[in-house]
Amino acid sequence: MVGFHPKTQAHSDLENSVESLLDVLSDLKTGYEYQKEFIESLLKRSREQNLYLALVGQVKRGKSTLLNALIGKDILPSSIIPVTAIPTFVRYSDRIMVDVVFFNSSKKHIDAESVEEAKNFICNYVVEEKNPENKMKVSYVDVFIQADILKNGMVLIDTPGIGSTYLHNTETTLNFVPECDAALFVTSVDPPITELELEFLKRLAKHMRNIYFVLNKIDYLSDEELDVAKKFFGKILNDNGFQQTVVHVSARRALTGKLQKNEKLLKSSNIGNIEALITGEIVSKKKAMIDESISIKMKNAISEILTTLELEMKSLKMPVNELEKKLKLLNQELDGFEREKNIILDSLEGERKRLHEQLEDYCSQITKKARTYLQGIVNENSVKAENVSEFYEIARRKVAEAIPGFFENENGVAIRFFEKKIHQINSFYNDRISKICDRIRQIISGIFEVDYEKTGRIFEFELTHQPYWVTHVWIVGFQPFSEDLVDMVLTPSRKMKKVMVRVQSQIDELIMQNIENLRWSIFQSIDRFFIRFKNFFEKYFSEMTHSTIMLINELLKEKNCRIVVEDRLRKLEEKKKLCKSLLEKLD
């Protein structure tokens, strides 16, 4: 997906520290390339701090209106107009733009002159009247617009409503929302929370920790009625183990108040409470988590840099013949680590092949499960039909209704299963490689007699990605049915048996096509992980070993010039002091 990430206007102390460290590294020679790249990645992460907040809930609860109210622009079609099951990502930009992305990854783009123009463009693809049953095959919509709440990486996501015409929307949303940082569960007072919503909420809570509650349409009730509705909703949440605070709002009043600049309406809408929740508690949770992670990585990076600085200073002061002996010894020691690196790469390839094999076995199990499930639906409806043609039509319709929900659910279960496997592999090899890197640092420090302070994980490959929406085109269509001459002379019972065989054959074909759809996306995800992990490891290992040797070789060339050496030592000493100062600030 296209993303826009504005820089934070006011730099935090942590961001200033990251920039200071980059200044320290700016004119250093060979041996610091990995640290420079790593610190730059930390600075980028500190500046972006993207936060993905999904609005979820049943249809006609006012999710789109609430999102419009939060950004202060009437840009998304509201649920009063029938809309299709297309998710919309709302991001920050100085100008109004819309990208409509299709199943085949093609897109249509508009630079809009006004909010109204953008809304009309969006309606062409998400409103049921213009795009019935999503015949245009739209996957998702990206909206870029200027709004204070979207600054500094906030992305608001309008998700398909549960309980809509599309029965598999619940499964699709449950597969997507856990990838977000938080969710606003939007319900309303007309009527209070339903059994369908409560069941969805329980399932969502199994996969997501940060769920916040919004009771919308408070303007529909009198003060006394609203008080009853609030207590009822609070009791339902408490009885089901949800202790979070509920925010009460009138999204309609809030949007009108912002568009008309009516402070009285805005105040009565309570929109300020939701804005405070988002910009305060929700944002601070992620910011604190990211800042803590960056701080730990900064400490480890500074410790590595201090070791390399110390190594360079010791090498500059060392006689040439002694430095050459130590370089020779270092080369001998590192030869063994090259073999260990290749063993790890072979092991990773073995892990990849095993996951592929597990995926094939997993898909075989889903195939059996799907066949039993869909055949059960056919058998159940065969007794309801008065003739073969009616049976075939009922079977076609019921199977078409069942397939998207079944495969979307199985897809979600499969994704979580293999993500867990990948996390386990990532954690195991991060630990294994980090221990090897730690030993390399100890050897380098021992040979050159420099101080070595053991840090946390030296090597750490992170599994990070922004939430994405994969809308699968589950294949549901039966082949047209027509009786041939042989069918016409068969008895009704024999004719039914023959048609049942045809139906089973078509079900098997649909299962095979949908299983391949599911299998291929997971297969690609597995391969992407291993490619990225191996590339990251090889690059890090090369930097850690070869660049140290290259640094010492460069120092050997400089040692003949006393003025150059003295000037270099002075600069390195200054950088060492700066690094220690930064380290103290982070403690």
Dihedral angle over CA of 353, 354, 359, 362, nearest 10 = 160
Locate the domains of the chain by residue range. 47-62+155-294, 73-146, 318-586
Average of per-residue pLDDT across 516-523: 93
Per-residue confidence band for 80, with pLDDT thresholds at 50, 70 and 90: low
- Would the pLDDT of 367 be above 50? yes
- Would the pLDDT of 11 be above 70? no
Q: How far is CA 182 from CA 23, 124, 237, 583, in A?
A: 36, 29, 18, 33
Q: How far is CA 292 from CA 41, 287, 298, 447, 587, in A?
A: 15, 8, 10, 34, 11
Residues 6+ apart with CB under 8 A from 131: 84, 124, 125, 138
pLDDT of residue 492: 67
- Crossing angle of helices 492-558 and 283-317, in 10° steps, is 40
Per-residue confidence band for 534, with pLDDT thresholds at 50, 70 and 90: very high
Q: DSSP assignment, residue 58?
A: B
Tokens standing for residue 30: 């060979």
- Would the pLDDT of 87 be above 70? yes
Measured between alpha carbons, how far is 244 from 234 in angstroms, rounded to an integer? Answer: 9
- Would the pLDDT of 230 be above 60? yes
Measured between alpha carbons, how far is 99 from 111 in angstroms, rounded to an integer? Answer: 9
Per-residue confidence band for 487, with pLDDT thresholds at 50, 70 and 90: low
pLDDT of residue 488: 54
How many CA within 13 A on the CB side of residue 523?
Answer: 14
Residue 102: beta bridge partners? 138
- Would the pLDDT of 523 be above 90? yes
pLDDT of residue 7: 38
CATH superfamily of 47-62+155-294: P-loop containing nucleotide triphosphate hydrolases (3.40.50.300)
Residues 468, 536, 434: CA angle, nearest 5 degrees: 115
Q: In whole angstroms, what separates CA 236 from the centre of its chain?
A: 31
Tell me which range, 164-178, 472-486, 518-532, is most confidently predicted by mean pLDDT.
Answer: 518-532
Strand 182-188 to 51-56 pairing: parallel
pTM of the model: 0.83
What type of residue sits at position 413?
V
Residues 334, 338, 343: CA angle, nearest 5 degrees: 145
Measured between alpha carbons, how far is 136 from 30 in angstroms, rounded to an integer? Answer: 54
Measured between alpha carbons, how far is 376 from 370 in angstroms, rounded to an integer? Answer: 10
Q: DSSP assignment, residue 78?
A: P
Per-residue confidence band for 248, with pLDDT thresholds at 50, 70 and 90: very high
**Contact between residue 363 and residue 519 where contact means Cβ atoms under 8 Å apart:** yes
Q: In whole angstroms, what separates CA 311 from the centre of its chain?
A: 40
- Quote the mean pLDDT of the chain: 87
Per-residue confidence band for 245, with pLDDT thresholds at 50, 70 and 90: confident
pLDDT of residue 190: 82
Average of per-residue pLDDT across 240-254: 90
pLDDT of residue 518: 93
Average of per-residue pLDDT across 345-372: 97
Lowest mean pLDDT among 301-310, 340-349, 472-481: 472-481
- Would the pLDDT of 267 be above 70? yes
pLDDT of residue 31: 76
**Contact between residue 67 and residue 119 where contact means Cβ atoms under 8 Å apart:** no
Using a pLDDT cut of 90, give the percent of the chain over it. Answer: 45
Q: DSSP assignment, residue 479?
A: P
